[in-house]
Structure formats: C-alpha cells, structure tokens
A and B are shown apart, each in its own frame.
Chain A
Amino acid sequence: MNQSKYRTGKISFKERIKHTVISIKLGFFLALKQLSRSNKWTTVLIIFIMTLTFLNLVVVSGILVGLIEGSVNAVKTRYLSDVIVSTLDEKNYIKNSPFVINVAKSLPWAERTSSRYLGSGTVEANYKTRIKDTDKVNSVGTIIAGINPDDEDVVTGIKSLIVEGQYLTATDYDQVLLGHNLLKKYLPIESPGFSTLSDVEVGDKVRIEINGNVREVYVKGILKSKVDEVSRRVFMTDTQLRGLLGRSDYNVNEISILLKPGSDPVVARDAMLASGVGQYAKVQTFEEGVPKFLKDIKDTFAILGNVISSIGLVVASITIFIVIFINAITRRKYIGILKGIGIHSTAIEFAYIVQSLFYAIMGTLIGVVFLFGFLKPYVGLHPIDFPFSDGILVATISGVLIRSGILFIATLIAGYIPAKIVVKQNTLDAILGR
C-alpha cells in the first residue's frame, strides 16, 4: 500500500475488492478456529436448536397439510380411484352405461374398472322386535351400493377394510356389508337428526328398503374406513341391487377406473371424453373429483402451516441472533483486539456469519436426514390416527429446499446484525472492556 493512498484518503475500488476477498478468507479462518475450539456441548446445543427449528418449519406445516392430504389420498384409493365417471348433474344414473363401461375398459391405460349401482334407502334393525308403532325405529338412511366384489376390491382394496365378518363374493345372496359409521358401536353420537343402528352384529338380519322394495338381508361384514362414501354406505352385490332397483338397463351410477402405474389420469379422462362419454356422464380425474371442502381445508391448512412456520422462522432468527449476540458480546474484548491489530470489520463480521451459517447448515442437514431417513417413512408406515383421516407427513424436496433457503437467509441476517452491532463499537472501549 503506498503513501499517496493515505494522503488522498481514498482506497481504490480494486483494492477494496481485494480487501473484501481477503476479509472473507480471514473471516472463514477465524470462524473455523472458533468453531473447532469452542465448547463442543455449546455447539451441539446450538445445532440441536437449529435442527428443531428446521423440523418446526417443515414438520408442522407438513403434518397440517398431510392431515388433509391423507384424507384426499384415502378418497382416491378407497373410492374415486384415478378417474371417476359419475352421473350428469340432472340425471339419476349414467345413461348408456354399457357403452361407457366398454370405453373405460378399452382404455390402454386402464388396469381395472369398478361399476357401482347406487340407491337411496333405509336399513332397519329392530323390525322384528318392535311391537308397537310408538317404539323407536332402529333404522338409518343410507346409500346402498351394488358392486362387483372382485372389481371393487381390485380398484379400491375394499376387502382390506373389513373389520368384522367377511367380504362379499359374486354369488352372495341377501348378504350386505355395513360401513362402520352406520353403527352406533363405532360412532356413538347422540344427536338429533343423526341416526345410527344399535345392537347390530355380523350375522344379524336387517331389512333394507329401496324405492318401496323391501328385502331382509344378513350382515356379512363390517367395513371400517375414514372415507364417508365407504363408511356410511351399505354394500351388496350388483346383481342383487340391480333387481331391487329394477335397473334392467344395466345403467350404473359410478365407474371408478384404476389406471396402470405411471399413467396420466388427465390423458385417460380426455380419451374418455373424446370417445363421446361426456354426453352420458361426468368424467373427472381424482383431483377434480375430490370434494371441494377437502380442497378448501387443504388450502387453509397450507396457509395456517405457513403462518406457523413463519413464526418458527422468527423464533429461529431470534435464537440465532441471541446466540451470536451473546457470543459476540462475550468476545467483545477480542473483537476490539482484532480491530486494534488491523483486522478489518468485514473479516470479523464474516466470521460470525460463517458461524451462524454453520449452525444453520448443520441443523438443516441433521433435520433433513432425520426427516427423510426416519420421520417421513415412519409416519408413512404409521399414519397419525385422526378421526377423519390417516394423517401423513407431506414434505417435498422442493418445499424443504425453499424452507432451508429461507432459514439460511434468516440465519445470515440474524448472525450479521449482532456481529455488526458489536464490531461497530469503539475499538479502545472494547479492548479495555469499557
């Protein structure tokens, strides 16, 4: 450095850049030394806090979204499948169903289809023991679904939902499956306007009535599901319900189409519509078919999750700020000495930034390993048992990257500000501890 530089009071831009690069290198050097020779337990504690902060950022919102995502997934896998064909709004059934079913089955992407007849009716349990007309009727209004047991099991895995009794076979006659939410023992709600069947067990006889047609049937099994379209329905074979409904034209109400793995539901939907199915039925992908309230709740929970995550981020920033501030304050004398012997403020500030970033990176790395290595698979295998869904943990790579990025930026700022405050103090006061 020459003398004229001091005389003019100006350091050239090139020299400033050079100083900045040197400062960054030296800051790195100081940070590494401080980290490697600081108290190990303090470092472990700070990293632990950062890990918790990262998990708080990702897991809280992930659980909130996953709570509804679990519900949406269940609706898809247990009811809608990949593509759902349903009645047009103004119709009671899918007109020309055999044609529609053939189109669905002939899709090159279709793995299997399940057609359902649906009819509104009632199920009554105490019709034999009820003596007086004034005795309370033990009945419940429901939707009765007529299914091909094999098709339905392949498409929705309904057989695995049996908790009592047995699943239907194609030849079953006068046998039904009851959704668990139709039974008081599974849904003990005493509420006016909400009815359930009392004292109904597998093997009991119940009476179902559809369109004035009455039939006595045996309860073959009970299904348990968190999807209302399954848990509040009665299932019987399609041939038998067709008879009860008097549906001799084979027109069904719903067709769920399971696609081969990797197939695009949108492409399948469009192919169905291109075949002219649209004039007889509504064709939707599962995403379109998911009830709107679920979508709304999912969006709301996502916002809620982000709000909670933001609070977590502020807490994390304050934590880092306090940690770095205490660190810088307790090392104020040494900061003064560094400045005194000619170490530039940038180098000292950078040393603290590197330290805070180290805590954030280590905390995030451990958090990511814990999240993807244990937590997410564990919750996937053991979903959180909410009353209306099996909650999963939604954590995508992109989401984690974004949140990690935000955490790093917040950490960087939270590390820089206290370092700047302490470094800005008078050098001599810092050295002398004034």
Chain B
Amino acid sequence: MAGRKRTLEAISFELVMSVIAMIALVIIIAPSLVVLVVSFTSGFSLRFPPQGYSLRWYAELWDAWQLHFAAKNSLVVALWATGLSILLGVAAALAISRSRTLSARLLDSLFMSPLVLPALAFGLAALMLFSLVGLPVSPLTLVIGHTVVCVPYVVRNTVAALAQLEPTLLESSAVLGASRFYTFRRIVLPLIRPGIIAGAFIAFMSSFDNVPVSLFLRDAATDMLPIRMWQDLEGKLDVTIAALSGVLIIATVALVAIMERVTGLSRRLTN
C-alpha cells in the first residue's frame, strides 16, 4: 500500500516537472521558429501561419542597401572590439587567474562589473566623458565602448580555461629548460585556446547585437544593424525585417554549431 502510494506520488512529481520543462523548452524555441516561418510568407502581413510561401522578402533584403550599410558597420565594430577584447582580456586573465591576492580579486570584480551594470547608463557616461575631453563620437568611440562591455566574456572564459590547466605541466616545462614565453606559446596557449575562442565568440555576438552603448556613442553617419532594426520595428511592421531575422537566426545556429565543435561551448557554459 505504502509502496503504491509512493509511486503515485513519484509519478505526479515527475509528470509536473517534465510537463513544465517541456512547456519551457517550447517557449524558448518557438519564437525563433515562428519568425523563420513568417519570413517565407508571400504576403504583406506577419500572419502566422502565412497564406502562401515565397522567397520574395529575402530577395527584397538583397536590395536593402540601408540594412547592408548598417550590417557592415556592426560587423566592423564587432571585429575590432573582439580583437581588442582578446588582446587586453587574455593578458588580464593570465595575471588574475592564478593569483589569490586581494588586488587580483578586486580587478576580477572590476572587469566583470560591465555585465551587471546597466549598459545604457555606461553609454551615457562614456558620451559625457568623450564630449568633455572633446573627442567626437565616431567608429573609434564605438569600438572603445563595445570593448568595455565585451571584454568580460573573454576574461571570464579565459580564467575558466586557465583554472583547468594542470600547474605541473608548467613546472615540467620549466624544469626541462623551456623559457616562460616558450612554455606559454607551446603549452599554455594551445590548452586555453578553446576557452579564448569561446569567450571571443560570445564577445563578438554581444557586440554585434549591442544597442544601449551604440545608441550614445555612434555618430549620425554610422548606422548600426540592431538600432536600424529596432527603429524600423518602432515605425512599421516590415516583413523585410522578418527575412533579416531569418538570416540572423540561421547564421547564429550555424556559428553555434561550429563553436560547439571547436570549443565544446555547451560544456563550457555549464561548468
């Protein structure tokens, strides 16, 4: 009797948890699928399901020079910000990762703080400072601002990769007569490279998608893709944006698949 009761009780628990988990997973994935389907509509509205299917909005996208221009700007800024983040972030991660000192922990908190502080407030603050020192907003100020909010991802993932590194490897290398630089180049770097790549990838994606910092630090001539899309959506519901969203979703899926192969991204983010 008691055993039977317990199983019923166990079944009710498993059922409730599984059903909520399924609903949650559907809620997570559904919006992207909906946009993908709607982007192939042959009509002018964003009805789901569409009345008919076509590639016309993707063809329209081909000629949307404003979006091309904005996409190019976003890409260039994201590449520069990612490069700068790798350069500054990996060096900083090497310094703070194996140190237990107070200054290392303080620096770690400082480098991570852009992740929790409102980026819009930082964007405004940076704009005020730049205008105070007489530096006009430009692609340069965009790269600087983006680097501040993207570098934490590189630091965090590199620190995590360094924490997995066996210290005896470094000692053996030193005992065998290798210089510190040689050890770094031949032992440390190859082992932490996947971590650096994973961090750089997330940094790149978040720069490419950044609105709050770009909003304040771009000049009128530098249109950025997410801002362009946002403003288009505020005005009218354009199906071209659905096609562009489709392109971005497919590109993201492809990049994540590559990153999963190269760096084991999913394990990195749950450990």
A binds B: no
Interface residues of A (CB under 8 A from B): none
